[in-house]
Amino acid sequence: MKSVESEIMLKNFRLKWFKINGIKFKIGKRLRYALMVVLSFFSVLMLVLLYLNWTSPGTVEEKVPLYTYNHKAKVDYRVNLNPNPITSEESMGEGLYYLTPFVKNIDTNFNYQFRGDNVADIKGDYEVTAYMQGIQRDLKSIIIIWSKPYPLSAKESFIAKDKEVQLNKEIPIDLKVYNDFVAEFLEEYNIGTEVILNVYWNIQIEAQTDNGKINEVLTPSITIPLNRNYFQIAEDLSKSSEGVIENTVITTLPVDETKLTVYGVLAFIFIIGIILIIFKTENTIVNPVKKQWKKIHKDHGERLVALENELSINSDSLLHVKTFEDIVKIADELGKPIMYRGNLEHDEEQVFYVLNEPRIFTYRLALLQQSTSEPETMGSGFTL
């Protein structure tokens, strides 16, 4: 008994499945083709993206340091004093104000260090030069009117094959010599400019490594005002720089599995959509007579008169025309309205009349039966 019921249920399920499977949804022809084109485009796009992400996941440039280095130059100074009634100190440190009559000289101490990752062929030179300069200050800049150089240390070269190089140089600056020159110069030539003494420690270095060449320049300095009763030293004492020799490495990125999954799923969905549209939809069949009926009411609706009741017409008085345009011509010629009875929207035959007693001109539209294939647009004049 149970087996019989199971067979019946299975047969019913199969029947329902076949009915459902055989259903095709009707949609407009243009919409159907548009959906197929859009889904096809996105299917191809997703497949192309899927292929490109699988075969060419992309690359990234990375900078790999091969040799790193740093170098720094620093100048320290101390102002030595003559015996004076103000202080018993023999010298003063950096960054203070100094009374010019009490200054004996200024001791400077230059220190330089270069340090790299590995051994390199290092060579370079350094020199110390002072520039006495007559200047004019404005709001934004300093204009140099005249300049006189004083070499304080001739150019000295150095060479080494090492990871590190250190240099040290002590130079005293006799401030009285420069102040005396300025006093005589201004008195003799009466050139009223502010005068300063700029002292530059200029060092150039070149290092040849296994990975490339390094060229660097550092120039610490101090600025001493001249011809003043007291002064403060403006300083740019410390200079440093770090550098690296790099190599650019191009690395292939790993395949992005998330993108592959997204593109694959979307491509599958779009393809399924195309299959469903092809096999589960069909074009909406448009009856050409209904199409003509709609066009008649659209173009001539203001001159059409709907009849509620049937006309009592003697068939001998009827004159049948072939097309709706013919009945329009007759109505225009006679100056009569076009009356009609029936509604194709409700599958009713529609008949148009133009009355001209005793004659009645008529044109009939009858609904065509729809076939399984889409018909072509056709004329629709019929006679009784």
Q: Please list the residues that pair with 63 across neighbouring strands.
A: 248
> Given pLDDT bands bounded at 50, 70 and 90, which one contains residue 115?
very high
Q: pLDDT tens, 47-74? A: 999 888 888 888 888 888 889 999 999 9
Question: Which amino acid makes up residue 178?
Answer: Y
Q: What is the DSSP string of 274-315?
A: HHHHHHHEEEPPPPHHHHHHHHHHHHHGGGEEE-SS-----G
**CA angle, residues 364, 369, 372, in degrees to nearest 5:** 150
Query: What is the DSSP-derived secondary structure letter of residue 374?
Result: P
Nearest alpha-carbon partner for 233 in 142, 134, 106, 129: 106
Q: How many residues does the chain have?
A: 384
Give whichever of 118-132, 281-295, 302-316, 339-353 has the largest mean pLDDT. Answer: 118-132
CA–CA distance, 342 with 330 (Å, rounded to integer): 21
**Tokens of residue 336, six digits:** 């009569």
**pLDDT given at position 61:** 83
- pLDDT value, residue 192: 81
Handedness of CA 271, 273, 277, 280 (dihedral sign): positive
Place of tokens 């407009």: 28
As beta bridge partners, residue 134 has: 146, 195
Tell how strand 25-27 and strand 281-283 pair up.
parallel
pLDDT at 368: 52
Q: How far apart are CA 209 and CA 67, in angstroms?
A: 8
Tokens, residue 51: 């292929």
pLDDT digits (tens, 9 = 90+) for 153-168: 999 999 999 999 999 9
- Which pLDDT score, from 0 to 100, does residue 62 have? 85
- What are 174's strand-pairing partners? none
**Closest-CA residue to 78 (of 98, 49, 101):** 98
Mean pLDDT over residues 221-243, rounded? 91
Of residues 127, 383, 172, the one with CA closest to residue 366 = 383
pTM for the complete prediction?
A: 0.56
Instruction: List C-alpha distances in Å: 104 to 83, 132, 168.
Output: 9, 19, 23
Cα–Cα distances (Å) from 150 to 131, 159, 195, 199, in that order, read: 6, 26, 14, 9
* β-bridge pairing 338-341 and 281-283: unpaired
Mean pLDDT of 18-41: 78
**pLDDT at position 317:** 78
Instruction: Quick: pLDDT tens for 279-310.
Output: 888 877 666 777 777 888 888 878 888 887 77
Q: If residue 192 lies in a helix (H) or strand (E), which one and from where to where?
A: none
Structure confidence at residue 4 (pLDDT): 58
| 8 Å CB contact between 203 and 158 | no
pLDDT tens column, 166-188: 999 999 999 999 999 999 998 89
pLDDT of the residue at 308: 76
**Quick one: average pLDDT of 335-343?**
84
Provide the mean pLDDT of the chain.
84
Count the neighbouring beta carbons within 10 Å of the beta carbon of residue 197: 22
